[in-house]
Structure formats: C-alpha cells, structure tokens
Amino acid sequence: MQLFVGLGNPGAQYAHTRHNIGFMAVDRIASDHGFGPWKAKFQGQIAEGRLGGDKVMLLKPETFMNLSGQSVGEAMRFYKLTPADVTVFHDELDLAPGKLKLKQGGGHAGHNGLRSIHAHIGEDYRRIRLGIGHPGRKEAVAGYVLHDFAKAEEEWLDNLLRGLSDGADALARGEGAKFSTAVALRTTPPRPSAQKPATAKKADPPESEPEDSRSAMEKLMEKFK
C-alpha cells in the first residue's frame, strides 16, 4: 500500500492558489482513476483506490501547509507504512511553470509543508516537485504562492495535471522514467514530423516547330504564289 499526499491549504479562498497545486494533483488522480469519495480522517481528507495494481490512499492534509506533517505522520503510522511508501506532490518555486521533477529524499529547501513532514516522518520519502515559477523577489514569494493562478496559466496547468494523472499508474509501480515521460507528452508534446513538400511535376517543354530547310529563294518564291 502507498500514500500519495497533496499539499495545500484548506478552504475555498485557497482552492485555486499556486500553493494548492498539490491538492489539485491528487484531486485529478482521484477523479480520473475512480477513487472512492473523500472522507475526513487523519486531520485531512482521504480517498481510497488502486493505481498500478497497488492499493493507494490519497491524502489532503487540512492542518494548513505549515503543519502538514501532523496529518501525514498520523496516516503513515495508522497504515504501518514507511517513508519510502509516501509520495508528496507540492509546489516548487525553483522550477519553471509546468515543469516537473521527481526526487527521492533530500532536504526541504525551505518549503514549509516539507519542513513539517521532515519533522514528523524524516526525509526518506518521494517528492513530485511541480513548477510554479518564481516572482523574482524573495519578499514577493508569500503573496505569489497564495495568489490564484492567472487565466493565462490555465492551459499549462491543465496539461500538467492531465500528465500527472496519465502517469499515476507508472508512479505507483515505481517506474519514475515512465511517469515523467507521460507528463512530458502532455506538457511538451512531440512536434509533428516535417514532411517534404511534394515535388511539382515538371511541365513538358513546348513542342518546337519543325525546322524550315528551304533556301531563301524558295521562301521568296512562296510569297508570290
């Protein structure tokens, strides 16, 4: 069994913010893969289903981002899981919008949700880093992540979420490369192969008139006939 965690903040006012892209990811997986209804449990919302032949629980902590580890730790202990069974979907400022990176273990890079999870279960869990871009100034980060996605961002966001859902089975099977490929096919689809334009058929050269072999005198006499 595995635990897929989407990070975000509870409440309608945060539903479409950049910080909630983790919630959006697990919502999309639940919808596309026929998971059961969301139920209140472990200080969050949880849904049950299957991915890649394995039982998977989806979790959206409702503790607010900074305390996400409380919910994750409680669920992990209840199901007797190890950190290696946990995958966390979260926003990533250091990746361009629509980009994704899969990471196993490591630091939290200042992300408050990951910082809290580290404190409760350690660092040996898998992360799906979902790029939202950076506002350019450190002091603007808080307002940026808590702001709704702009209308111009809707296309890449939808493609990214579709790709995550497409690759969810492979992710559950531990096939990271296949998962990343499934996402890439949505976010950066291959260009159609360039076809050489059809070569125009050369027109037949105009037929030349037969050469007149008569002498000048014969041609002159022809005029007076």
Residues carrying an active site annotation: 19
Strand, coil or helix: what is 175?
Answer: coil
Q: Take residue 15 and report the two structure tokens written for it.
A: 């539903």
Cα–Cα distance for residue pair 29/51, rounded to 1 Å: 9
Bridge partners of 91, per DSSP, are 130
Contact between 23 and 47 (Cβ < 8 Å)? no
3-state DSSP of 14-36: HCCEHHHHHHHHHHHHHHHCCCC
- CA-based nearest residue to 171, from 185, 183, 153, 186: 183
Cα–Cα distance for residue pair 69/216, rounded to 1 Å: 110
Cα–Cα distance for residue pair 6/160, rounded to 1 Å: 15
